Structure 1
Amino acid sequence: MAGARITRGIKAWGGLIVLGLLGACEMFQPVEPVLTPRARPAGLAPPPVPDIQATSQESAALRAYLAQVQSSQLTAGLLRQDGGGPDTPFTADMLARNFENIVFFNEYAGPGVRPGSASALRRWTAPVRIGIEFGASVPPSQRTRDTNDVIAYARRLAQATGHPVSVSDNPNFLVFFVSEDDRADTVNVRATSLPGVNRINVGPVRDLPSDAYCAVAAYATGPERSTYTAAVAVIRAENPDLLRLSCIHEELAQGMGLANDSPDARPSIFNDDDEFALLTGHDVKLLGMLYDDRLRPGIGLTEARPTVRALAAEATTIGPS
Structure 2
Amino acid sequence: MRAGVFAALMRAASVVALAGLLAGCEGMPFGAPPTAPKTSPLPTPAPGGARDGEVVPPSAESAAMREYLTRVGRALESQGLLRQDVAPRDAPFTARQLAEDFIRIALYDEYSARGGGFVAEQQASRLRRWVKPVRMSVEFGPSIPLAQRRADRSAISAYAGQLRRASGHPVSFGSGPGNFTVLVLNEDERRAAAPRLRQLVPGIDDASVSAITGLAPTTFCVAFAFSSGNSPEYDRVVAVIRGEHPDRMRISCIHEELAQGMGLANDSPRARPSIFNDDEEFALLTRHDELLLRMLYDPRLTPGMTEAEARPIVQTIAAELMGGES
Structure 2 length-normalised TM: 0.81
How much is the aligned-residue C-alpha RMSD, in angstroms?
Answer: 1.9
Does the aligned pair in 2 maintain the 1:3–1:260 contact within 8 Å?
no
Deviates more, 1:166-175 or 1:211-220: 166-175
1:70 alignment partner AA? G
| 5+ long unaligned stretches in structure 2 | 1-19, 27-50
Does the aligned pair in 2 maintain the 1:202–1:217 contact within 8 Å?
no
Deviates more, 1:71-80 or 1:180-189: 180-189
CA distance in 2, matches of 1:195, 1:290: 28
Does the aligned pair in 1 maintain the 2:190–2:212 contact within 8 Å?
no
CA distance in 2, matches of 1:116, 1:49: 42
Q: Is 1:69 aligned to residue 72 of structure 2?
A: yes
Instruction: Return closer, same or farther for 1:154/1:318 CA change in 2, 3 Å cut-off.
Output: farther
CA distance in 2, matches of 1:144, 1:258: 27
Tell me the matched-pair count: 278
Q: How does 1:217-296 map to 2 (within 5 A)?
A: 217-222=224-229, 225-296=231-302
Give the strand-richer structure, 1 or 2. 2
Which whole-Å deviations, capped at 9, do the CAs of 1:130-186 have from their partners, x for residues lacking one? 110111110111100000000000000000011011113121111010011211334
CA apart distance, 1:192: 2.5
Q: Aligned match of 2:191 in 184, 188, 207?
A: 184
CA distance in 1, matches of 2:324, 2:253: 28
Q: How does 1:123-162 map to 2 (within 5 A)?
A: 123-162=129-168
CA apart distance, 1:111: 5.2
Does the aligned pair in 1 maintain the 2:179–2:236 contact within 8 Å?
yes
Task: Report the equivalent of 2:218.
Answer: 211
2:113 alignment partner AA? G
Structure 1 length-normalised TM: 0.82
Task: Report the equivalent of 1:6.
Answer: 25
| 5+ long unaligned stretches in structure 1 | 8-47
CA distance in 2, matches of 1:226, 1:195: 18
SS of 2:195's partner is helix
Q: What percentage of residue pairs aligned between the two structures are identical?
A: 47
CA apart distance, 1:62: 1.2
SS of 2:299's partner is coil
Task: Report the equivalent of 2:177.
Answer: 170
CA distance in 2, matches of 1:308, 1:274: 26
Task: Report the equivalent of 2:204.
Answer: 197
Does the aligned pair in 2 maintain the 1:79–1:277 contact within 8 Å?
yes
2:65 alignment partner AA? L
Q: Is 1:96 aligned to residue 99 of structure 2?
A: yes
Instruction: Return closer, same or farther for 1:228/1:157 CA change in 2, 3 Å cut-off.
Output: same
CA distance in 2, matches of 1:282, 1:159: 14
Give the helix-richer structure, 1 or 2. 1
CA apart distance, 1:187: 5.1
CA distance in 1, matches of 2:193, 2:149: 15
CA apart distance, 1:49: 4.9
Q: Aligned match of 1:87 in 86, 90, 104?
A: 90
Q: Is 1:116 aligned to residue 122 of structure 2?
A: yes
1:308 alignment partner AA? V
1:72 alignment partner AA? A
Which whole-Å deviations, capped at 9, do the CAs of 1:268-292 have from their partners, x for residues lacking one? 0000100000000000000000000
1:73 alignment partner AA? L
Larger radius of gyration: 1
4+ long deviations beyond 6 Å = none
2:83 alignment partner AA? R
Does the aligned pair in 2 maintain the 1:192–1:198 contact within 8 Å?
no
CA distance in 1, matches of 2:112, 2:129: 18
